[in-house]
Amino acid sequence: MELMLPDTGLLFWMTIIFGLVVFILAKFGFPLITGMVEKRNKRIEDSLEAARTAEEAIAHLKEEQDRIIAETRAEQSRLMQEAATERDRMIAQAQDQARVEAQKIMEDAKVRINQEKELAMKELRNEVAKMSIAIAEKVVRKDLSSAPSQKELVDKLIDQL
């Protein structure tokens, strides 16, 4: 039973050694351990705060991205409308210009046709006149070879005048 009941001297020295160990730990060990725990807590809190900040920044960036996409789509739509309007304007302008040029070409062609028609008519008149003169000359020579036919022709011309 002696093992169950320690001696008073042993109990005394165990208490002093225990106190000394607690004192050394309290003086040197616990502040070091608590400092390390506090540093770790501070690092964890800083990490959590950085994560919250990053999360807020990501949310803000997401909002900014959505806004930029909406602006880009609106700008794209506006540019497409402007391009369609410009295309329609250019087509209308080209059609008007083509009409004007076609009208001018038609007018020039009509003028040239009329000029060529007039020239052909003049040439035709000249040819008809030459042929008439040649025929008349031949007829008159034949008819005027005798004196009575000459007198008859002169009388006929005077009557016609």
Give CA–CA dist 143/62, Å, rounded. Answer: 117
Q: What is the 8-class DSSP label of residue 4?
A: T
Contact 140, 153 (CB under 8 A): yes
Q: Which two tokens stand for residue 106?
A: 């038609």
pLDDT at 46: 96
Contact 143, 153 (CB under 8 A): yes
pLDDT band per the 50, 70, 90 thresholds, residue 56: very high
Better-scored residue on pLDDT, 42 or 157: 42
- Write the pLDDT tens digit of every residue in 92-149: 999 999 999 999 999 999 999 999 999 999 998 888 888 777 777 766 666 566 667 6
**Region of 116 on the Ramachandran plot (φ > 0 left; ψ -120 to 50 alpha; else beta):** alpha
- Write the pLDDT tens digit of every residue in 62-76: 999 999 999 999 999
Contact 153, 144 (CB under 8 A): yes
Q: Which two tokens stand for residue 74?
A: 């609106």
At 52, the amino acid letter reads R
